Structure 1
């Protein structure tokens, strides 16, 4: 947007990108009800875990009326509709596991889902913007924004671990909000040649990234790895780069040919994309292509913010010209905190994917019964792959290494 590229730093407004200083990329105060006309959608969406468990979700969806999306007028109505239809779609596709997928989404679900997706600029599949950013409410509206006072609007199978997974991720996003709010201060300081102002803003961003890491540590408290790997993960998986659905999914009444979309992924969070663009961190071709594709799974305004940040004067070049000790230390600290976050994320993925995957292979080799535990029932085709379709550990380690190479060879020892 033109306002982001002007030489008047004050005009770089987060409001133009539907981003708030308090909530960052989180949708403030999501609706929890749609107009009564859409009650058939909500009746199914609010019962997804039990309907999937009873193997009745597909039958219920097939009986739903074909509803028009025209009565959804407000942005928050569209976001709740997209969340509900996304969750229902994931349950519909994966109800019978990896061996019982469907080739076609019925038109009474596919057509309105496509219409809502087009109006929002989101793909017709569950995204980070749905499951995390728009899927929360406070139990006590006046109470704190914490695990004890939050609950999901719509759930997938997996019990308390589902709630823990989405809400911890939400709190990571909330912890990153002050960093996003500091970005205009960085841009303004660079445009005015104020090294001290840029340094202070970067110090605030560093603290915010540290808070994100601390929030992510709650994942091991609220999510059971065997439940995430064995039950939840398949419902987050898409139909692109997925051996279970190599052709994709036909959206009946929309396209005659199958369409392919990636499943939900942390790479769909706008936070780290913003940090990379601000700090000038570039990722190698394969990783860069995947990350670039993940931007198409973000709300368009958030994607524009990332693109406009990439058009700003390079921050590292500004720091070199200024040759200011405080600024250089702040820049290195910021990169070090981002590196630490990515390293801890690798630790989490190892705990929730790699270790259970090894356990699943061991159980299969021992020919243990499928009822052994949740891990043994996990889809074999998804081992060591992220729900977005990437080879998850290879991808994350490469992204971490690119972060390290961009900044820390010169002053890494000082930062440590």
Structure 2
């Protein structure tokens, strides 16, 4: 059992990582408005979909005044500014699709965007922390945190499917909150050899991961695969590992050389990184280097939490040393639920990317007059890639297989036997 002498100061806690008890990594109550000085930004940011549709976004941005970022004081002001500038940037670059990308981001957008990014420790491109974690409000402030009562602050082109995509992802994050809250229970339990505490924490994490999978199922209700593939994906794409923008992007007034950044990606969610470090999932080198690079797209304190979890004593070794059936079972259940989440994610990616990509290829080969088919508008360069720049299916399957290898030896035999 726990040693009474454990110094409370040395206990692992979430207090210093900008993680909320109620919302986890989600930004609690994001601001909806910036100070009046920044009205020119918000006026354009709130109209990105219509201005892209009418091919006028670039001309509006080009006429925008160059504003100083110094009047943004609070963290939530900076987050809303980063979100608004991100949405404008993605619309600006991709307004004309993959054929006529902007190679220079104009100074009046690039300079404040760079400054706000530097202050937040985020890159100057749209991230999961912007589009999902800081892009929500409740219609009724006292109402539930669900699809009916949630709305986006700022949108990209894609209509209701954009709302569905970002808000379902937000609900997946929310479902993961009990798991995040239980991570310190598990870590402190391992430190003081309290097998009951560890098993209890792992059971909560298992249930929470199962709830994340259930939340992810809402994608098929709220997002149209052809709209996601044909319209939305390009606006989440970056300028690293992207054949449409092989040189990257010049941020005018920041530096003369082009810079490369990956687009928004589910791999930028801190949740799965935390689970991998806690459970001891060992990724093969190529996947690991992509995942570690994605941590630079997270708020710095969230990245630090992941690193600090990785420095704790090994949970898997502790479980193996205890020779306790209940503990083994709790650990393996946790890995199994993470495996199920990753398998379901592959299923989602297949439905939203692989199948529409095959259809788009077929239309091109048949030289159809395919204006009626939304998917034919999708950039060909992205066919096999995720918006973060990874070769998506091989990456996801490798990550899933490495998760399976984390099961304890006996359970691993069982899984291999059944699969």
TM range (shorter): over 0.9
Q: Secondary structure at 1:241's aligned position in 2?
A: coil
Matched length: 411
Q: How far apart are the structure 2 equivalents of 1:406 and 1:197?
A: 21
Task: Tell me, yes or no, if the aligned pair for 2:41 and 2:85 is still in contact at 8 Å.
Answer: yes
Q: Deviations over 1:205-227 (max 9, x none)?
A: 00000000000000000000000
Cα distance, 1:368–1:409 mapped onto 2, change above 3 Å: farther
Match of 1:89 in 2: 89
Match of 2:280 in 1: 280
Match of 2:392 in 1: 392
Report deviation, 1:405.
1.2
Report deviation, 1:410.
2.3
Q: How far apart are the structure 1 equivalents of 2:207 and 2:274?
A: 16
Report deviation, 1:10.
6.3
Match of 1:66 in 2: 66
Q: How does 1:242-257 map to 2 (within 5 A)?
A: 242-257=242-257
Match of 2:224 in 1: 224
Q: How far apart are the structure 2 equivalents of 1:370 and 1:67?
A: 43
Contiguous gaps of at least 5 residues in structure 1: 1-5
Q: How far apart are the structure 1 equivalents of 2:406 and 2:182?
A: 21
Q: Secondary structure at 1:135's aligned position in 2?
A: coil
Q: How far apart are the structure 2 equivalents of 1:287 and 1:262?
A: 15
Q: Secondary structure at 1:133's aligned position in 2?
A: coil
Q: How far apart are the structure 2 equivalents of 1:360 and 1:350?
A: 14
Q: Secondary structure at 2:406's aligned position in 1?
A: helix
Task: Tell me, yes or no, if the aligned pair for 1:270 and 1:298 is still in contact at 8 Å.
Answer: yes
Q: How does 1:85-124 map to 2 (within 5 A)?
A: 85-124=85-124
Q: How does 1:14-25 map to 2 (within 5 A)?
A: 14-25=14-25
Match of 2:311 in 1: 311
Q: How far apart are the structure 1 equivalents of 2:410 and 2:117?
A: 46
Q: Deviations over 1:77-105 (max 9, x none)?
A: 00000000000000000000000101100
Task: Tell me, yes or no, if the aligned pair for 1:9 and 1:187 is still in contact at 8 Å.
Answer: no
Q: What is the TM-score with the length of structure 2 in the denominator?
A: 0.96
Report deviation, 1:372.
2.7
Report deviation, 1:400.
0.2
Match of 2:3 in 1: none
Q: What is the TM-score with the length of structure 1 in the denominator?
A: 0.97
Moved more, 171-180 or 13-22: 13-22
Q: Secondary structure at 1:406's aligned position in 2?
A: coil
Match of 1:359 in 2: 359
Q: How does 1:208-357 map to 2 (within 5 A)?
A: 208-357=208-357
Report deviation, 1:188.
1.1
Match of 1:3 in 2: none
Q: How far apart are the structure 1 equivalents of 2:11 and 2:73?
A: 29
Task: Tell me, yes or no, if the aligned pair for 1:8 and 1:191 is still in contact at 8 Å.
Answer: no
Q: How does 1:135-214 map to 2 (within 5 A)?
A: 135-214=135-214
Report deviation, 1:323.
1.0
Q: How far apart are the structure 2 equivalents of 1:80 and 1:152?
A: 12
Report deviation, 1:9.
7.4
Q: How far apart are the structure 2 equivalents of 1:119 and 1:231?
A: 32
Q: How far apart are the structure 1 equivalents of 2:248 and 2:65?
A: 25
Q: How far apart are the structure 2 equivalents of 1:41 and 1:410?
A: 58
Report deviation, 1:370.
3.9
Cα distance, 1:363–1:75 mapped onto 2, change above 3 Å: same
Q: Secondary structure at 1:407's aligned position in 2?
A: coil
Task: Tell me, yes or no, if the aligned pair for 2:405 and 2:412 is still in contact at 8 Å.
Answer: no
